[in-house]
Amino acid sequence: MVSLLDIIGPVMVGPSSSHTAGACRIGLLARCLVGGTPETARIELHGSFARTGEGHGTDKAIVAGLMGFSPDDDRIRTALEIAEREGLDYKFEKTTLGEEAAVHPNTTRITIQRGDRSATLVGSSLGAGRVLITEIDGYPVEVTGNYNTVVLVAEDVKGSVARIATLLAEDNINIATLKLTRKARGGDAFMVIEVDEMPSTNLRDRIRALSWVKWAFRLDKVSA
């Protein structure tokens, strides 16, 4: 079903919902993986993002998102200058992330680092400000930013999903979707949990305290 937002687009700083609003939201999701504004960022642009992104403000929008600016923030227009003043060391590269038929033309791969935490995210801007994250740290995912989302990497141990679900329930958090990906039996498992409520910092810390959890972060809801 087509919504009114799909027709008129999101509230944003222009010129393009795909190249600006969507790009900003990808940046917002990426920064959550390192717990805030990164110190360094390598931003690879694919397809239309690579060909026309600079003219449409994609570069400014992604960097703005990495600094926590929303799509309607006027500071997007000067995001590159602000990043330089605040010490965000960013670098843009044009690349090809796959065959055109297989990879959305408005796609970026962002590799960021903050302190001892680094992360790589692949995301696409689908139009009208909508986004889809398809990969985090090499694991295939489907994150839309329509929900608050808990992402974590843990050892593939029995009962891990039940334990995480129990912690969420104890924090009065309702699960909307839960997807688990693993590269091999007994290896690391990547869990993506979309939830209806905002998980607390205490819940995140309780998940991180589990001996078999390697890291866990919350991706904040970025849709309108």
pLDDT at 52: 86
pLDDT at 120: 97
Q: Amino acid letter at 51?
A: R
d(CA 19, CA 157): 41
- What is each CA distance from 25 to 43, 61, 104, 185, 207, in whole angstroms? 14, 8, 16, 34, 26
Nearest residue to 206 (alpha-carbon basis) of 167, 172, 175, 165:
167
CB 123 within 8 A of CB 131: yes
pLDDT at 100: 77
Per-residue pLDDT of the chain (224 residues; tens, 9 = 90+): 444 444 334 444 544 556 689 999 999 999 999 999 999 999 999 999 999 878 889 999 999 999 999 999 999 999 999 999 999 999 999 999 988 778 999 999 999 999 999 999 999 999 888 999 999 999 899 999 999 999 999 999 999 999 999 999 999 999 999 999 887 887 899 999 999 999 999 999 999 999 999 999 999 999 86
Domains, the chain: 4-137 (3.30.1330.90), 148-219 (3.30.70.260)
